[in-house]
């Protein structure tokens, strides 16, 4: 994308695919490196493995070179990048699965022997130490090489992360155990500890990789909406051509029931087009000569001959795809607690271990005793429990959420949900059912029952949503046949029923625009159709998309938690105001398009608040991705579900409050787990430094910290949703 600034210079925004990042420290360091370069302004996203860089008079090759110097690789994103990345990630994931299985096979004998060491023969039940060395070494340096690589990159960048802790703790355990084995010292060995840590942390990395592999599915869902081919007029003939072959100015045909291939302008023909996936408006929009049509929208009953105005990256659909990509690539305001702590923890532990070794060697003059005490410090500081503190709670919490109909895609979003202060809601299909229904029949020259019967008879062969609403309302009535039926796209229909010439359509078309009830119905957010015969108006039929039965109570429950609720919709202001009032929402934004929804979410975020978004349509995908926490209603589109962080399977807004409760319970367990992980370190490190804690006891304490963390996480299984409570905020677990 090119832009011109005030000075006339050209700037370029380029998106790069980044390979080699393993943790948050990597993305943070790379972002700092790029932003230090002249003419570059970068935003690096670890989950998407993307860097979006604004270049001022700098070529893309300079970015690639700077990334390479930082220890990573980059390539500009093009049409084929996504497929290449997908294939490469699948290949790497299969390789990592194989390595994990090998690690499990090598580690199980080492861990299994511990069960027999407390038997009658004690230490004699352990495996031969040379065999333990042979089993542990491949796990340490082959399977665990990724941790050394990640640790080196973090240290080179001036920081420390979990990779540093894993590499340091397991290396010291392996090195000490190897020295004991080689020199035949009468000391305990810790091969099983290092191997188990690497295997468990590798499992967490695999789970993380599996989640990251799905970050691009929202965009892919949008891409799949656009037709692959189009019927194009060339030299007086209609040809079936790939959509990629269309150029601006080409004439194409959209037949009834087909999707529009590209953006265009109607040349001739009349029809109604379902644009809900773009605007959120549930009612189809009438199209005739001069009107615009958009790629991937669904044509109704008529044929449209159109001239292409936007193709390729210039379509509105492509713009939505770009918005989703930009939102997903934006930087999250959350930093991992464990990484922040480890940045201080690692150097402190190293200093304490070194001081312990030097102090004991100087005071006691015994190298072996000094080494044992120093290793005890490092073993008690092993990061196994720290590494398990967050993922075990997240795994149990998300499992409980799934049982309650809350599907969590993004663990960071689950952590942030507890802090939500503003909740933006889509209207159509989220607050409402997404299904137009007849709400009133106001009789004029006949009774309401007869009017509904005649109107349903006219509409019984139509697939228009308004027609389906009328027919559904008269489902229990036998409908007469229709003769001389005729459709007037965008206006209504006409036909002969029971010997009467009838018309059904918009009030203005049938001369009922001044009916005194019309304004009130429209102010209530209802669409009105009129039934008339040759003598005049017979009845007014009001149709509306009804509020979900649980929406009002759910909104009240959220507001009771102190959450500010804002409704975002593409509907007209009258409809928006009516639905907002019914739902008990005081603040709303009406008449907004997909880009405006994302902008509205970003505007709410500008106040330094945690903003969540709830939606169900494709048009909500950019806003869902832009929000700190995105909720998708389960009946929504695949693209909305893929872009969201959490999916509410049961189509119930109470699920949002339940998810916030789940977040609070899970965050509580994470904090408790971190306490358990560190209490052993805080109390154990001084004891080890004073020679009061030998490495065997240190190893047992480390194991106990892990058991405490896992056991505490399992207590989350007691969490249950408080669905249906509407009289206040749910208490935290």
Catalytic amino acids? 426
Contact status, residue 405 vs residue 657, Cβ threshold 8 Å: no
Structure tokens at 598: 């994302």
H runs (alpha helix) in 234-336: 276-279, 316-329
Contact status, residue 534 vs residue 511, Cβ threshold 8 Å: no
Contact status, residue 461 vs residue 604, Cβ threshold 8 Å: no
> What's the full length of the chain, in residues?
733
Helix axes 367-380, 162-183, angle to 10 degrees: 150
Please state, in angstroms and rounded to a whole number, the distance separating the CA atoms of residues 196 and 369.
26
**630: part of which helix (H) or strand (E)?**
strand 629-633
Please state, in angstroms and rounded to a whole number, the distance separating the CA atoms of residues 660 and 533.
55
Contact status, residue 611 vs residue 623, Cβ threshold 8 Å: no
Please state, in angstroms and rounded to a whole number, the distance separating the CA atoms of residues 654 and 9.
52
Please state, in angstroms and rounded to a whole number, the distance separating the CA atoms of residues 565 and 558.
8
E runs forming strands in 499-553: 500-505, 527-533, 536-547
Please state, in angstroms and rounded to a whole number, the distance separating the CA atoms of residues 526 and 543.
6
CB atoms under 10 Å from CB of 35, counted, come to: 13
Output the CA torsion 194→151→396→398 (10° steps): -160
532: left (phi > 0), else alpha (psi -120 to 50), else beta?
beta
């Amino acid at each position: 994308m090119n832009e011109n600034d005030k000075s006339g210079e050209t700037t370029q925004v380029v998106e790069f695919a980044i390979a080699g990042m393993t943790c948050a420290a990597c993305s943070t360091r790379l972002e700092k490196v790029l932003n230090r370069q002249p003419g570059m302004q970068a935003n690096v996203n670890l989950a998407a493995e993307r860097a979006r860089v604004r270049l001022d008079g700098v070529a893309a090759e300079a970015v690639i070179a700077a990334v390479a110097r930082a220890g990573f690789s980059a390539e500009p994103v093009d049409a084929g990048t996504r497929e290449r990345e997908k294939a490469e990630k699948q290949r790497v994931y299969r390789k990592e699965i194989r390595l994990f299985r090998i690690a499990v096979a090598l580690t199980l004998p080492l861990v299994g022997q511990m069960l027999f060491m407390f038997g009658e023969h004690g230490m004699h039940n352990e495996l031969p130490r040379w065999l333990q060395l042979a089993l542990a070494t491949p796990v340490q340096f082959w399977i665990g090489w990724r941790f050394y690589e990640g640790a080196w990159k973090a240290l080179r960048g001036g920081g420390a992360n979990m990779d540093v802790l894993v590499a340091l703790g397991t290396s010291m355990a392996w090195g000490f155990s190897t020295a004991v084995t080689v020199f035949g010292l009468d000391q305990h060995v810790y091969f099983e500890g290092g191997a188990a840590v690497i295997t468990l942390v590798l499992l967490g990395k695999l789970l993380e990789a599996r989640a990251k592999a799905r970050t691009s599915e929202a965009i892919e869902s949008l891409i799949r909406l656009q037709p692959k081919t189009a019927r194009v007029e060339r030299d007086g003939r209609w040809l079936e051509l790939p959509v990629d072959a269309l150029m601006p100015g080409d004439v194409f045909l959209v037949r009834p029931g087909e999707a529009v291939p590209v953006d265009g302008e109607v040349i001739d023909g009349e029809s109604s087009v379902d644009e809900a996936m773009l605007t959120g408006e549930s009612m189809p929009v009438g199209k005739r000569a001069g009107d615009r049509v958009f790629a991937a929208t669904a044509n109704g009953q008529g044929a449209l001959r159109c001239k292409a105005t936007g193709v390729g990256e210039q379509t509105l659909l492509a713009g939505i795809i770009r918005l989703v990509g930009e939102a997903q690539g934006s930087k999250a305001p959350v930093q991992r607690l464990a990484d922040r702590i480890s940045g201080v923890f690692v150097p402190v532990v190293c200093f304490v271990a070194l001081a312990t070794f030097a102090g004991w060697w100087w005071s006691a003059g015994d190298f072996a005793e000094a080494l044992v005490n120093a290793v005890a410090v490092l073993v008690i500081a092993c990061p196994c429990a720290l590494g398990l503190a967050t993922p075990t709670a997240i795994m149990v919490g998300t499992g409980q959420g799934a049982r309650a109909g809350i599907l969590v895609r993004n663990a960071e979003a689950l952590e942030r949900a507890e802090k939500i202060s503003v909740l933006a809601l889509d209207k159509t299909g989220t607050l409402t059912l997404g299904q137009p229904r007849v709400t009133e029949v106001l009789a004029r020259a006949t009774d309401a029952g007869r009017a509904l019967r005649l109107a349903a008879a006219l509409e019984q062969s139509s697939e228009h949503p308004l027609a389906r609403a009328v027919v559904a309302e008269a489902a229990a009535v036998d409908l007469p046949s229709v003769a001389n039926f005729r459709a007037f796209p965008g206006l209504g229909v006409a036909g002969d029923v029971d010997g009467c010439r009838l018309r059904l359509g918009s009030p203005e078309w049938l001369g009922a625009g001044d009916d005194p009830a019309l304004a009130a119905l429209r102010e209530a957010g209802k669409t009105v159709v009129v039934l008339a015969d040759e003598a005049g108006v017979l009845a007014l039929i009001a149709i509306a998309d009804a509020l979900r039965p649980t929406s009002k109570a759910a909104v009240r429950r959220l507001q009771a938690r102190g959450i500010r609720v804002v409704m975002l919709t593409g509907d007209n202001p009258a409809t928006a105001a009516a639905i907002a009032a019914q739902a008990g929402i005081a603040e709303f934004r009406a008449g907004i398009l997909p880009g405006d929804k994302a902008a509205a979410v970003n505007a709410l975020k500008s106040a330094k608040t945690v903003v969540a978004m709830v939606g169900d349509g494709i048009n909500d995908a950019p806003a869902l991705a832009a929000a700190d926490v995105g909720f998708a209603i389960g009946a929504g589109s695949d693209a909305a579900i893929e872009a969201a962080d959490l999916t509410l399977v049961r189509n119930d807004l109470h699920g949002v409050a339940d998810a916030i409760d789940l977040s609070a319970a899970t965050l509580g367990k994470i904090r408790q787990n971190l306490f358990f992980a560190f209490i052993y370190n805080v109390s154990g490190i001084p004891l080890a430094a004073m020679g009061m804690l030998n490495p065997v006891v240190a190893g047992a304490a480390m194991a106990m910290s892990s058991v405490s963390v896992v056991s505490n996480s399992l207590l989350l299984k007691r969490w249950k949703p408080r669905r249906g409570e509407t009289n206040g905020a749910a208490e935290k677990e």
